[in-house]
A and B are shown apart, each in its own frame.
Chain A
């Protein structure tokens, strides 16, 4: 079996320097109480640490790593971003609440936003001061996202939004939400939607927590009852909502999440090797999981290498990333649960239930396979 080692990015001096700087910073920045006794923290204590983490990232110079300098980012590349995510996961750093804003809102605003929107929203987002959540899915529009029913109706110099969004990650903590809503119910499908940036504290916004099968609460349902949003908070033109949403979903399935997931999977697998490595009936399964896990790490490296060249090879490699890590983690969690190790019982029960989410969010794995076959292999719709 291979264990995680420390020879970060041998060969590239700039990357090595970056990794060293990140590792040093993480050593002192990660709060001890989080690293050592996260499980004992109350919900409020844990939230406070995660909220503070976003501010720490900015002060440490690690917010918006691959984001352009012109807009307040660090102006580095995917490689640095992935390195940081891996090192942060290894250092057991908290997961801040600014993730949705940084990975989704910031690229969207840079791509399609007005100068006013860039100036107003990007700085507090990168500083970790304003947190964002995502208003895409609805009770009746999941995989079929274009079927959203939330309406945005013209009212003076803005719109009134009414509808229900679900699976909003971090809704409880967010200051703002980006909302995909119908602006023209008579327009054809895909042409009827617009994208809005909405204040979560505006009158008419309310949320309900959603408890998951694991017992955890990571999501909420968000209700909009005639919520006013000014015209200057519409991203792009009326009718551009679908195009903007599709570009944004492309940002969601990137390498950084896969990098953090690799570290988590590796650590779960190491636990399995420590506790069950001598069980002959598990030998084949563990060996295959080890191959798949290390292949995931190399696959990520391959994606980074191919990124610069673009083209077909990159498109193929990156398209399979989410399916690779999500289905691998589900098998690890299931093998872990079925190994029935008394000392780790709670851990594996939780992991087993939690892992059920990863083949669903960010586009179900069935949708991923549709995208692979249509956009990468070119099969007819």
Chain B
């Protein structure tokens, strides 16, 4: 039995995720996600592009970042959900030559599990100026087109999405699988961040003259949230290192992230239910990831 599978990210993943972590922590220092989820991004696209971070996933003769490395990056990115089409561009440029030829950000038109079988597609960051949409990921075909007309997508607000019915992107088996893993990984990052916020809140919030985090009922919710996050983290690593049953695994990952998110919301009590608290932005990302992962399941 293969107990000693290598679960660690490679050097590229380590370096890039640390660098991205520095960049986004600096950009968001002292601010809550509420400050930028629906407002101006605290980081410019140029800052990422100048560092070459949008090209980190490119494979050259099989050399370069493995999916496990991109998982490390996506997990870090998920902790802040800065409204930039970063992960989309990384995957687009990894799987499409024509996407690489464009200097700016690139996204794609995805099927999701709630859009139905017709021509409707979801374009993450479809509202982002300067974005191009690639029509094929994996393989040599495909073109880049400008953002079409569409309706703003209301669930993941950080993703500035657009629902369209005039374009669709063809995904190779590999591209679809990798995309599912990346959205699962960013959900793990979001869940980890929510847990962090929940722990901080439980230490500070006083009721009955003591921090609510000293009550066992609250402690056990947060312990269960950690168990869910750990299980999701391990499962997404597994999904990045195998090719069989991956989409089923990514569904499991996102489900466990949502489990953790629900517990953290409960720990925040009524405050967690307010728009201003901002926890819902992370949960919205996970729910959208669930729809995307579900939609990708029906790809070839």
Contacts and interface: CB of A to CB of B under 8 A. Distances in A.
B222 A301 contact: no
Interface in A299-358: 299-302, 304-305, 316-317, 319-320, 323-324
Contacts of A2: 244-245
30 contacts: A2-B245, A5-B2, A8-B1, A9-B4, A9-B5, A10-B5, A86-B3, A295-B234, A297-B1, A298-B234, A298-B238, A301-B3, A302-B234, A304-B4, A305-B6, A320-B230, A320-B231, A323-B227, A366-B220, A370-B219, A372-B227, A377-B199, A377-B222, A377-B223, A379-B218, A379-B219, A379-B222, A380-B211, A380-B214, A381-B214
Interface stretch (A57-65, A107-115, A196-204, A285-293): A285-293
A378 B203 contact: yes
A379 B3 contact: no
Contacts of A145: none
B203 to A, nearest CB: 7
B124 interface: no
Interface size class of A (residues with CB under 8 A): 35 or more
Contacts of A379: 199, 202-203, 211, 213-214, 218-219, 222
B59 to A, nearest CB: 21
Contact of B203 (A294, A323, A380): A380
Given A324-B230, A373-B226, 14 more contacts: A8-B3, A9-B5, A10-B5, A82-B4, A87-B1, A294-B238, A300-B3, A316-B226, A317-B234, A370-B219, A370-B220, A373-B219, A377-B223, A380-B210
A49 interface: no
Contacts of A368: 223
B7 A301 contact: yes
B248 A79 contact: no
B8 interface: yes
B220 A8 contact: no
A79 B3 CA distance: 9
Contact of B7 (A9, A259, A287, A305): A305
Nearest to A368: B223
A369 interface: yes
Contacts, number: 130
A101 to B, nearest CB: 24
A377 to B, nearest CB: 5
Contacts of B231: 292, 295, 299, 320, 324
A292 B211 CA distance: 34
Nearest to A16: B4
Nearest to B228: A320
B248 A287 contact: yes
Contacts of A288: 252
Contacts of B230: 299, 316-317, 320, 324
A302 B233 CA distance: 10
Contacts of B213: 373, 379-380
A125 interface: no
Contacts of B233: 302
B175 interface: no
A146 interface: no
Contacts of A8: 1-4
B222 A373 contact: yes
A371 B224 CA distance: 12
A6 interface: yes
B235 interface: yes
A15 B203 CA distance: 44
Q: Which among A5, A82, A291 has the greatest number of chain B C-beta atoms within 10 A?
A: A291
A160 interface: no
A126 interface: no
Contacts of A83: 3-4
A280 interface: no
B237 interface: yes
A86 B5 CA distance: 14
Nearest to A328: B231
A36 interface: no
A374 B3 CA distance: 30
Contacts of B234: 295, 298-299, 302, 317
A83 to B, nearest CB: 6
Contact of A259 (B3, B211, B224, B245): B3
A205 B218 CA distance: 44
Nearest to A373: B219
A157 interface: no
B2 A9 contact: yes
B216 interface: yes
